[in-house]
Amino acid sequence: MEAFNYRKAGSADEAVSTLASAADGKFLAGGMTLLPTMKQMLATPDTLVDLGGASELVGISRDGDNLVIGAMTTHATVAGSAEVHSAIPALAALASGIGDPMVRNRGTIGGSIANADPAADYPAAVVGLNATVNTNKRSIAADEFFVDVFETALADDELVVSVSFPIPAKAAYQKFPNPASRYAVVGVMVAQTGDGVRVAVTGAGPSVFRASSFEDALGGNFSASALDGLSVSADNLNEDIHASAAYRANLVGVMAKRAVAAC
Amino acid sequence: MSVNVSMTVNGKPVSAEVEDEMLLVNFLRDHLRLTGTHVGCDTSQCGACTIHVDGVAVKSCTMLAVQAEGSNVATIEGVSDGETLHPMQQAFKDNHGLQCGFCTPGMVMSALDIVKNNPSPTEQEVREALEGNLCRCTGYTNIVRSIIAGAKEMEAS
Ligand SMILES: Cc1cc2nc3c(=O)[nH]c(=O)nc-3n(C[C@H](O)[C@H](O)[C@H](O)COP(=O)(O)OP(=O)(O)OC[C@H]3O[C@@H](n4cnc5c(N)ncnc54)[C@H](O)[C@@H]3O)c2cc1C
Ligand code: FES
Ligand code: FES
């Protein structure tokens, strides 16, 4: 790993101002993606601003019909939270299926969505549940947040503060995990929300996307059989040693049906 | 840059001047000579480096030494009572839960974390909770047996 300066921020404001004073700084959350990336020299920041001391970024609360999760809340905390289990059980289940116990003990929701790995789980929840990402500067709608492979709407110096999930009538997440890493080969979140049925797909494309033909079909008839005969196009889907684009396209249909059945 | 870090490791206070980029596992192994904690990969996948920080299982290869400032760290060296093995270590020995032993320190530290959260886990629960610990030798069957036996022994004692 290249040398860098470590700075621990005591608050979100201090994190933002410390990052602003660095030439090429990065926020450090759980480090579960950033540190391995730095070991492989794929990232060489000159400064790491540790968010671990910013206690206002940790926590889960109810705000009317929304469940608000602080950026530094770990996957293990979300998975074990009674509040999440009662409001959005699908979200607790999703968090409990990320990686392994040690990854869940350190990895955070803010780090996961800022990183925007095409195979990450949380993006399916953010888009599927029509969440809002709150930063130090603004609120970003889920449909605007994820842009491309490892690319989000965040500016370089923008800090994710929390994610606000409207509580759905019903929701379920199903993934076909990579057997080694548990990342999603394909993962699908299906939700009945205030603005209709949403179907968000992760793992299959360069970035999370909505399967609009599935949403339309489920809007008329919310049952797995409503998806019979429907499919997403394999064009532009990911292809690697784990699965071809055509296989992923098929999995989208299979996971979506399983998610509807699990709702 | 370097920074002074202080923490408690296996009940003893330690402090040292370390580079900002020093990983916690390297601090344990190279500074404190606690070489029971192993490094089996550079992708945060194998779990050979598993330790407990403030009572929670973490991969010490994916944490900076400075991030453990002020923490209570437990490694495999602190598990036995002198020459008397901890019931979980004894269970690994009795159930042939190790072959080359490279993964074993991480397995035992994960096992203790599993039992802390779930005092009598089922085979399926143990298998799921071992997702982050890889073993190249045993095929896991005897590790799972060891953990279930160790858990029973810990409940009894
Ligand atoms: C073995 C292994 C298996 C895994 N399996 C899965 C899996 O099955 N599913 C899954 O979804 N993920 C998986 N992950 C990834 C894991 O969930 C990470 O925790 C997550 O992607 C990154 O979160 P972090 O808190 O560790 O962030 P970090 O690694 O600390 O940071 C990641 C990036 O986000 C930026 N960042 C962090 N916090 C903020 C913030 N608040 N605002 C703005 N930018 C920020 C950082 O600067 C960095 O660029 C796995 C990781 C490992 C090592
Ligand atoms: S050394 Fe492999 S996970 Fe830490
Ligand atoms: S005993 Fe050899 S790697 Fe597990």
Say yes or no: B94 and B152 in one domain. Answer: yes
Taking the C-alpha atoms of residue A94 and residue A72, their distance in angstroms, rounded to an integer, is: 17
> Rounded to an integer, what distance in angstroms lies between the CA atom of residue B157 and that of residue B145?
18
- Is residue B104 within 8 A of residue B111, CB to CB? The reply is no
Looking at residue B1, its pLDDT comes to 83
Tell me, yes or no, whether B102 and B69 share the same domain.
no
Same domain, B93 and B151: yes
Chain B residues touching residue A5 (CB < 8 angstroms):
1, 20
pLDDT at B80: 97
pLDDT tens, position by position, A176-233: 999 888 999 999 999 999 989 999 999 999 999 999 999 999 999 999 999 999 999 9
Ligand 3 centroid distance, CA of A178 (Å): 22
Could you tell me where in chain A the CATH 3.30.465.10 domains are found?
Answer: 58-262
CATH topology of domain A5-50: 3.30.43
pLDDT single digits (tens) B65-102: 999 999 999 999 999 999 999 999 999 999 999 999 99
Domain boundary among B78, B103, B119: B78
Tokens representing A224 are 């797995």
Q: Are residues B11 and B74 in the same domain?
A: yes
Complex ipTM:
0.97
Residue where a domain stops, chosen among B61, B78, B95: B78
Listed residue (B90, B46, B148) closest to A103, CA to CA: B46
Final residue of a structural domain among B78, B103, B138: B78
- Residue A31 to residue B64, Cβ atoms within 8 A: yes
B6 and B50 share a domain?
yes
A161 pLDDT higher than 90 = yes
What average pLDDT score do residues A55-71 get? Answer: 97
Kindly report the CATH number assigned to the domain that includes residue B141.
1.10.150.120
pLDDT in tens, A1-37: 899 999 999 999 999 999 999 999 999 999 999 999 9
CB A177 within 8 A of CB A242: no
B32 and B57 in a common domain: yes
Give the whole-number percent of chain B exceeding pLDDT 70. Answer: 100
Q: Residue B59 above 90 pLDDT? A: yes
Quote the pTM value.
Answer: 0.97
Tell which of A51, A102, A182 to mutate to test the B interface (max B CBs under 10 Å).
A102
Q: Do residue B66 and residue B12 come from a single domain?
A: yes
Domain A58-262, what fold?
Answer: 3.30.465
Do residue B30 and residue B91 come from a single domain?
no
C-alpha triplet B144, B119, B48: angle, nearest 5°: 45
CA of B25 to the centre of ligand 2 (A): 9
Q: How many domains does chain B fold into?
A: 2
